[in-house]
Amino acid sequence: MLETNNDIVCLQNIHKTYLLGIEGVPALRGVSLNIKRGQWVALYGNSGGGKTSLLNLIGTIDKPTKGHLTICNKLINMNTDDDILAEIRLNHLGFVFQTFNLLGNLTAMENVMLPMILQGKLTSAEQRERAINNLKRVGLENRLDHFPNMLSGGEQQRV
C-alpha cells in the first residue's frame, strides 16, 4: 500500500515481535493498512490476534520491529526518539485505553485539562472552559472536582 496525501496512518508490511525471555513471540506479521483523515476503522478478531499490539503502534505507544509506519507524515521505526512519539500523541492522536489510565491525584477536570496544559496553546481559562464543556457532553458536569477513586468505572471511562 502506498501512502497518499489523505492518509493519516500508513502501515506497510508491519511486524511486531515481543521478547519472552530469549525467545521472540510474533504479535504482528506483515500488516499493511492505510487510514485516511476522518475515516472510521474497526478492529476485531480473536483474543491474542494482535489488535492491541496494532493499536499501540498506531497510537505511538510502541514501535514496530520491522516495516514502515507513517503517522501524520512522520516515519516511525525502532530508532524513533520517544520525544517525537510523545509530540505526535500530544498534537495529533486521541487514544481510549481499555483501562482508564487516569492520574489518581488529579480531579476529573484536571485529568481532562492535562493534555491542553502540556500542549500550551490555550490560556488557563480556555482550558478550564473546554474541559468543563467536554465533561458536560459526557454527563459528568456534577463530577468535575471528583478524583478517579470517587468515580464509577463507567464515569472513569468517560473522563
Give pLDDT tens digits for 67-94.
999 998 888 888 888 888 888 888 888 7
**Domain span at 69:** 7-92
> Quick one: pLDDT band at residue 54, thresholds 50, 70, 90?
very high
The separation between CA 81 and the C-alpha centre of its own chain, rounded to angstroms, equals: 17
> Quick one: pLDDT band at residue 119, thresholds 50, 70, 90?
confident
- The reply to whether 17 and 88 lie within a common domain is yes
* Tally of domains within the chain: 2
- The reply to whether 17 and 48 lie within a common domain is yes
Cα 27 from Cα 56, distance rounded (Å): 12
**102 vs 94 pLDDT, higher one:** 102
Crossing angle of helices 124-137 and 108-119, rounded to 10°: 130
> Quick one: pLDDT band at residue 4, thresholds 50, 70, 90?
low
- pLDDT surpassing 80 at residue 95: no
CA of 82: how far to CAs of 101, 114, 115, 120, in Å?
Answer: 19, 19, 17, 19
Q: Please check whether residue 75 lies inside any domain of the structure.
A: yes
Q: Please check whether residue 86 lies inside any domain of the structure.
A: yes
- The reply to whether 25 and 70 lie within a common domain is yes
